[in-house]
Structure 1
Amino acid sequence: MHAGSIKQHAKMLRFFIFFFLFIHSCVAAPKIPAAVPATKWLTLNGQEPAVVARGGFSGLFPESSASANDLAISTSSPGLTMLCNLQMTKDGVGLCLSDIRLDNATTISTLFPKAQKTYKVYGQDLKGWFVLDYSADTIFSNVSLVQNIFSRPSIFDGQMPVSAVEDVLGIKPPKFWLSVQYDAFYMEHKLSAAAYLRSLRFRGITFISSPEIGFLKSIGMDALRAKTKLIFEFKDPEAIEPTTNKKYSEILKNLAAIKAFASGVLVPKDYIWALDSANYLKPASTFVADAHKAGLEVYASGFANDYRTSYNYSYDPSAEYLQFVDNGQFSVDGFITDFPPTASQAISCLSHQKGNLPKIGNALVITHNGASGEYPGCTDLAYQKAVDDGADVIDCSVQMSKDGIAFCHDSADITATTNAMTTFMSRATSVPEIQPTNGIFSFDLTWAEIQSLKPQIQSPFSTSGGFQRNPANKNAGKFMTLVDFLEFGKAKAVTGVLINIQASLFHY
């Protein structure tokens, strides 16, 4: 071993000794959790928001399949509500399917490839294989379910039969929600959802929702006797409600009138938290407050773990649920979701914690370059956000500048995480021992030069999948020296810090 290597190892040994001494000095004292006060919800009745599973666990299994329903019940809140979208066969049997057409959710098109028809549905011509053209026996005997959102797993396609409403009621879910979307269409073809419900005597049905005022009024007395809640569903604001021929945006102006025939409303989530053109949340509307003032419960739809939502949530579906129930101003009375376990966990475990999130055993939350999904990694803002979010251990991958300043950065090559290519293109070099491609390396720049650069947030899936991270903060924050990082960790009393030494042979 030559003299340079011995000197290098001696320096690293001194550093590790210092580091472990420092860790010992900055470990925070164990925190005694404060008593958690009784949860007070800002729902209409003060009770916990409902988790409503759209077709069971439809984010994994085909909607309303037996497996989807069973898994939803076994993995979600004890008070789970199971939602079934009612469709009618030509012999008047009620099925649980998302649409009046079978082709998007079943194998019907492969069985009867030439059986497409066109119907006018609420003024629009729709083409496909319609439920009302087939008997229940034909569907039960020949047709199987498929996943109707094609980005989701297809491994269960063609394996499960279509469920009748009675099949879902037969598993005795804690609560049951029947969504009646197309009563006026079915009535045109001599099929009646109201008559079907009366044949069931409304037994086991907790909620019935519909976007059609006439239908809800027609079953009002029956629902009252059965203690079934009626929910009026708002569609797109510019769509026409078929009974009144008014736009839903116009009906929205008189919520008090809805109270005469319904106990609650169901709205797309953007009625409450709309997005701006940059995909960030606008200020909340007053819809929930206005509806609660009118005595109406509010249920929001459109929740799923795999939908692209606002950058405010940083691709965390739990954060979106909490935005609707734990914002300090209002709470919806329930969600319609394809992933009921996530909604259940957000409500039961994550809400009203005020930073005291529950942990399993002695598990530690260790950061990767701080909160690098929300701010450029290894910046002051990324580390502060990580601490604010409850991280136990914050990490620093140590790099060296040309003038010997140790600082935190994920890699010795700074091209991907800064704007160095626009300023120091001429400094690009090849160091095969570090990476096979050229780069601009920290040890070729002074600390002052590094400080002059803008950090850039990294988005690993931005090229292949289009998933950007928090573009509003893509250049926010400043890189921290190792000394500043250690002082920050001590000041914030984190449980520990993790130091990662990289490319050490090139630091000196």
Structure 2
Amino acid sequence: MDLLRSCKKTVMASALAWTALAASAQAQPASPAPAASWPPQPALIAHRGASALRPEHTLAAYQKAIDDGADLIEADLVITRDGVLVSRHENAIAILKADGTLQEATTDVSARPEFAARRTTKTIDGKAFTGWFVEDFTLAELKTLRARERIPLLRPASAAYDGQFEVPTLEEMIALARTQSAHTGRTIGLYIETKHPSYFQSIGHPLEKPLLDVLTKHGLNRADAPVFIQSFEVDNLRALHAQTPVRLVQLMTPNGSPFDQAREGVPRTTYAKMATPAGLAEIATYAQGVGPSKTMVIPVTDGGHGRPTSFVHDAHAAGLLVHVWTLRPENAFLPAQLKSAPAGNGALRGNARADMDAFLRAGIDGVFTDDPAIGRAAIDAMQRKP
């Protein structure tokens, strides 16, 4: 509680300062083209912003990430009823349990009586969810909502900022990245995920054309743009490969199949097959990189880091960059040997630096992290070594 009270004392001042910064971002000119060496290697990717410190997918989280040294800020893109791309982890902005109580929320929509009638049940990638969904709101309506910390029990300091920030649009993110590129003298890139592309295609709100339209509008639909586009699905990346020179990344999990490859029943492929040398060579025909879950690179063995797999070597042999997801600082997300005592307290910060160092030693080309300051310190220390 002392931590919460301390954080809340600065929230209003922080929110006012942030509002002024976000407004100035809208007025900034385009940043210069990135240097030929971009992206830096290893690239430090702010997963949903500095999401261990501020409510995820907010301009405040992105600004904190940039302040802490991130090279790229990540956006999970979904689309409003009136066709505007916004940044949310899911199109569900509040999800209810079977008993009607709140399970998870990234906005305060469940507490807004004017939107009570928007509550509904939808099937997303084969799973039913009851709650509120971005595609049922116009941008103007969505902008009346305020962001919330998604996992407040694990991140109470971030939850102290609940109610202070809006849901940002992709164009607001571009404006911020350009402002901060000019301010810092380093290129701040965008790492964009098309979220549930098959679902949005099925309801008549495909994500790809609006995304390319925005990138084109801002001069970013080019091969050397400081932009990556990522997806867990395959067909949309193949389609994008034919439509844009922007770098593409195939996301992967240890198990299961891309939804678009499995929705007809028998999967056309699985992530396990895609992670083989032959599968990675096939990915290289339409993408420039892969984003594996971290255990695909370093498995957990006996509560600690095991021997790295051949994934990085195999991906590099196929000509692919490897951007690992996601490194987080709290006990809840660390191997047992890196947890702080008491290990059962998931909100405590463990030895996240040792976790980061292990993955950097594995030869990855980039890393997604919820706390970019840890990644920045680790990368800088590695690069200082002779």
- Normalising by structure 2, report the TM-score: 0.73
Counterpart of 1:146 (choices 145, 148, 153) is 148
Classify the secondary structure of the residue corresponding to 1:85: strand
Is residue 254–residue 296 contact of structure 2 (8 Å, CA) maintained in 1?
A: no
1:308 aligns to 2:333 (yes or no): yes
1:81 aligns to 2:81 (yes or no): no
Counterpart of 1:133 (choices 107, 132, 136) is 136
CA distance in 1, matches of 2:383, 2:291: 22
Aligned to 1:234: 252
Give how far 1:243 is off. Answer: 3.4
Aligned to 2:346: none
CA distance in 1, matches of 2:213, 2:140: 19
Is residue 208–residue 230 contact of structure 1 (8 Å, CA) maintained in 2?
A: yes
1:409-488 matches, cutoff 5 A: none
- The structure whose Rg is larger is 1
Aligned to 1:266: 291
1:212 aligns to 2:233 (yes or no): yes
1:54 aligns to 2:54 (yes or no): no
Is residue 47–residue 74 contact of structure 2 (8 Å, CA) maintained in 1?
A: yes
More helix by share: 2
Classify the secondary structure of the residue corresponding to 1:292: helix
Give how far 1:113 is off. Answer: 3.7
Is residue 288–residue 298 contact of structure 1 (8 Å, CA) maintained in 2?
A: yes
1:38-187 matches, cutoff 5 A: 48-77=41-70, 80-103=71-94, 104-111=105-112, 112-140=115-143, 142-150=144-152, 151-152=154-155, 153=157, 154-171=159-176, 172=178, 174-187=188-201
CA distance in 2, matches of 1:286, 1:72: 31
CA distance in 1, matches of 2:69, 2:43: 11
- Of the two structures, which has the highest relative contact order with CA contacts closer than 8 Å and spacing of 6 or more? 2
CA distance in 2, matches of 1:318, 1:74: 18
Give how far 1:350 is off. Answer: 4.7
CA distance in 1, matches of 2:88, 2:211: 16
Percent identity, aligned pairs only? 22
Give how far 1:47 is off. Answer: 5.7
Classify the secondary structure of the residue corresponding to 1:242: helix
Aligned to 2:376: 344
Give how far 1:251 is off. Answer: 2.2
- With over 3 angstroms needed to count, the CA separation of the structure-2 counterparts of 1:88 and 1:145, relative to structure 1, is same
1:287-342 Cα shifts (integer Å, max 9, x gaps): 1111011111001012111243124446311111110112xxx4111011111111
1:66-114 Cα shifts (integer Å, max 9, x gaps): 221212112215xx11111101111111001111111110011111345
The 4+ residue runs of structure 1 with deviation greater than 6 A are none
1:141-181 Cα shifts (integer Å, max 9, x gaps): x2000111222121110111110010010012511111112
Give how far 1:240 is off. Answer: 4.0
CA distance in 2, matches of 1:346, 1:169: 27
Give how far 1:209 is off. Answer: 0.2
- With over 3 angstroms needed to count, the CA separation of the structure-2 counterparts of 1:130 and 1:208, relative to structure 1, is same
Is residue 181–residue 212 contact of structure 1 (8 Å, CA) maintained in 2?
A: no
Is residue 47–residue 326 contact of structure 2 (8 Å, CA) maintained in 1?
A: no
Is residue 177–residue 209 contact of structure 1 (8 Å, CA) maintained in 2?
A: yes
Give how far 1:286 is off. Answer: 0.6
Structure 2 residue ranges without an equivalent (≥5): 1-37, 95-104, 182-187, 221-225, 340-349
CA distance in 2, matches of 1:201, 1:99: 21
1:280-319 matches, cutoff 5 A: 280-306=304-330, 307-313=332-338, 315-319=350-354
CA distance in 2, matches of 1:119, 1:247: 25
Opposite residue 369 of structure 2, the aligned amino acid is T
